[in-house]
């Protein structure tokens, strides 16, 4: 049974909705791109376009890999969808892909967005 956080991330992918949440004590604004599991735990590859981070956030945003067990205060909201534009390497964040926003996903997701 997926967690409430996992369900909200899945809903955000399907609706192309932004997520506002807290991760490692920092408020983050992001769009979830890939959702699934790694090492038996829920995980998401996201594009963070606003908010804070321990590493700082470049002006155009950055890719972030999140353990969903560390995510709290999740809210979905309408707004521009952000995916980033630097897809130069395959993702290594999510081992078992459940959902991918990319309809031509090379990761063979279990479900379609």
Q: Is the pTM of this model over 0.85?
A: yes
What Rg do the C-alpha atoms of the chain give, in angstroms? 13
State the residue for tokens 């409430």: 4
* Residue 30 pLDDT exceeds 70: yes
Cβ within 8 Å of residue 98, ≥6 positions away:
10, 35, 36, 37, 109, 110, 111
Q: From CA 86, how far away is CA 82, in angstroms rounded? A: 12
pLDDT tens digits, one per residue of 72-92:
999 999 999 998 765 556 788
Sign for the CA dihedral angle at 7, 13, 14, 16 comes to positive
Q: Which of 58, 101, 96, 105 is CA-nearest to residue 83?
A: 101
pLDDT at 110: 74
Answer for the pair 21, 74: CB distance below 8 angstroms, yes or no. Answer: yes
Q: First-to-last CA distance in the chain? A: 19
């Amino acid at each position: 049974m997926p967690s409430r956080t996992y369900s909200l991330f899945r809903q955000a992918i399907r609706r192309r909705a932004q997520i506002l949440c807290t991760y490692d004590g920092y408020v983050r604004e992001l769009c979830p791109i890939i959702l699934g599991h790694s090492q038996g735990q829920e995980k998401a590859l996201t594009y963070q376009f606003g908010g804070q981070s321990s590493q700082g956030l470049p002006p155009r945003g950055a890719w972030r890999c999140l353990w969903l067990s560390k995510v709290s205060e999740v809210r979905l909201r309408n707004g521009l969808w952000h995916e980033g534009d630097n897809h130069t390497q395959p993702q290594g964040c999510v081992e078992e892909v459940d959902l991918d926003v990319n309809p031509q996903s090379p990761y063979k997701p279990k479900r379609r967005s």
